[in-house]
A and B are shown apart, each in its own frame.
Chain A
Amino acid sequence: MEGHQRNLYLYERFNARVLGVSRDDVITLAYFAKSLDLTFPLLSNVTAFLGVYFDTQPEGRPIFGRRTVIIDKKGVIRYVRDGSPDFKDILLFLKKLNQEGGKP
């Protein structure tokens, strides 16, 4: 999460926004965000429908799997990676996507 926070100025450059989704409750997420000085939104999804939608909800477990998803402005999922985020890969992808969007 800190990695995303460090990269906010680059996401801005590539017309991207970041948000996190967790099954934790709002109070826990507020504390988490404060402890890491995060300024981007963290969404609380205790009912887990987003985890089911993005296929990150392991059966019988109370937490989501870790997954990074990039959705373009048309709502199309363009990038999915599991595990710890590869920030350089994400930034290169966003740069490419932004360049595509800038074409006439």
Chain B
Amino acid sequence: MKRKGLSILCLVLVVAWLSGCATTETTKKPYKLSQQGTVIWEDEFEFLPPPPGWKLLRVEAGENDINFGFMREDPGPFPSVTTFAYDEEPFGCTPGFEKREKEFFKRFLFNAILQFQILEKKKVQVVGGEGLAVTVEGKDPIKKEKVRAKVVFGKRGDRVVGFYITQWRPMDASYDLSAFEIFDKFVTSFKFLKKSFYETL
């Protein structure tokens, strides 16, 4: 006789939370180069890398940490630096782009305490589907610093993934928009080589 399957009611109890983030480096190279000049990252992603001069930036996977990215120290006084990254779990929770964008910017560069002004927002094609690209600028009149950032939201399965670039400058310095072109090439070339963990559950 067939018995009706019993369903388990499990309780994930999260007892308290403290701040925590992990920064570390790996000893084994997580990537290899293809004959086409692209990078195969952990047999999971393929993308066009930035030109020489950009350093690899890797943060161990954890809550709200990026997967990997690249950093370049730009000419000029502090804080002249550009960073871009792929993030499997961008800030926020909503699977829709419009709401996710609002959730994301509540916490993006949170420690810098900036008021962002949206310079451009448009729909784009990314990782084989529709996405949303948002370019913003934030200014800190006390520290006399500014940042220009572009965030591209895309989908991997049901979940939102993100790409972002930040370029910091002293308030009176100009941005180097060529770095944004390098970022755009990185994003445009980005491919998923296999299903995500969440898609296989």
Contacts and interface: CB of A to CB of B under 8 A. Distances in A.
Given A2-B92, A50-B15, A85-B63, 8 more contacts: A10-B198, A16-B12, A36-B93, A66-B16, A68-B13, A72-B11, A85-B14, A98-B8
A37 B198 contact: no
Nearest to B106: A35
Nearest to A6: B93
B91 interface: yes
A16 B5 CA distance: 16
B7 interface: yes
Which 8 A-B residue pairings sit nearest by Cβ, starting from the closest? A64-B16, A101-B8, A16-B10, A5-B93, A73-B9, A69-B13, A18-B12, A71-B11
B136 to A, nearest CB: 20
A46 interface: no
B3 A104 contact: yes
Interface in A57-77: 63-73
Contacts of A21: 13-16
22 contacts: A1-B14, A6-B159, A10-B198, A13-B201, A14-B8, A20-B14, A21-B16, A50-B15, A54-B13, A64-B16, A65-B18, A69-B14, A69-B15, A70-B11, A71-B10, A72-B9, A83-B20, A85-B14, A90-B12, A94-B12, A104-B3, A104-B5
Interface of B: 2-3, 5-18, 20-22, 62-64, 89, 91-94, 103, 106, 158-159, 197-198, 201
Contact of A14 (B10, B14, B16, B94): B10
Interface of B: prevailing SS: loop
Most B CB atoms within 10 A — which of A2, A23, A36, A72?
A: A2
Contacts of A65: 15-16, 18
B94 A37 contact: yes
A72 B15 CA distance: 16
Nearest to A50: B15
Nearest to B159: A6
Contacts of A15: 7-10
A91 B198 CA distance: 9
B198 A101 contact: no
A9 B9 CA distance: 14
A98 to B, nearest CB: 5
